């Protein structure tokens, strides 16, 4: 944006300009922006973790010589058996 243009935000279908907000409101906008970024990163990490878990379950099934894929329920049973 140019130097003279204001930064619009929308809250409850109402448009505001960041430059017109007081310091407390600007801080809240910054928190919301930061939390949105963290939520996005957490979703990305969760996708990686889920994919990695799936890969290890598949690899385990292959090493056990199972023709069919191990399901989540099978994995949870194995996990519970090893804990008990």
Separation of alpha carbons 53 and 16, rounded Å:
44
State residue 4's pLDDT score: 79
Beta pairing partners, 84: none
> Which pLDDT does position 75 carry in this prediction?
64
pTM for this model (two decimals):
0.64
pLDDT digits (tens), the chain, 84 positions: 567 799 999 999 999 999 999 999 999 999 999 999 999 999 999 999 999 999 999 999 999 985 555 667 766 765 666 554
- Distance, in Å, from the CA atom of 16 to the CA atom of 28, rounded to the nearest integer, reads 13
Query: How confident is the model at residue 73, as a pLDDT?
Result: 72
List, in order, residues 6 or more apart from 80 with CB less than 8 Å away: none
């Amino acid at each position: 944006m140019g130097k003279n243009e204001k930064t619009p935000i929308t809250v409850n279908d109402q448009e505001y300009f960041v430059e017109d907000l007081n310091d407390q409101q600007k801080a809240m906008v910054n928190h919301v922006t930061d939390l949105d970024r963290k939520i996005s990163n957490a979703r990305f990490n969760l996708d990686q973790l889920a994919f990695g878990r799936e890969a290890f379950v598949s690899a385990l099934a292959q090493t056990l010589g199972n023709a069919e894929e191990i399901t989540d329920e099978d994995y949870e049973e194995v996990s519970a058996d090893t804990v008990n």
